[in-house]
Amino acid sequence: MLLSLLNRKEKLKFLDLAMHMVSVDGEPNELEQRLLNMMLAEVGDNIVQEYTFSLSKDVEETVKFFEKTAKPVKHIIYLNLLRVTMSDEFYNTLEHYFLEDIRQRLDINETKKNQLIRLVYNERDLRERAKRLVNH
């Protein structure tokens, strides 16, 4: 969501961070993989061709990169990481700690965090309503 607003380097760094996010608890599950594929489609073919699809050795460098970006970029990054963690029904403590560390390092306050979480829930609710509507 809104990944197309990022510049080339931000998109590549986001993909790296998202790969770390889904790898925190092992291999990505089917839902996480599907969401990653949707995000890849959103960043564009030119970025997909350039991205190596392997974890960088230094996630710390990636986080430091985003610490220096503008607030809207930080919000887009955090929103999409939330989407990844909330894509399935399972609550994972390792993902939660990883995400909370990112939130604090990007200086995203609790109010903004809650607003972004609400967006993710609204998106999920809309998808479910659409599924029910088309199936009846």
Could you tell me the residue ranges of all domains in the chain? 3-135
Q: Give the residue-averaged pLDDT of 84-91.
A: 74
- Between 26 and 128, the more confident residue is 128
Pick from 11, 34, 45: which is nearest to 2 by CA? 11
Q: Give the residue-averaged pLDDT of 53-75.
A: 87
What CATH number was assigned to the domain covering residues 3-135?
A: 1.10.3680.10
130 DSSP assignment: H
The CA distance from 95 to 25, in Å, is: 7
Average pLDDT, the chain: 86
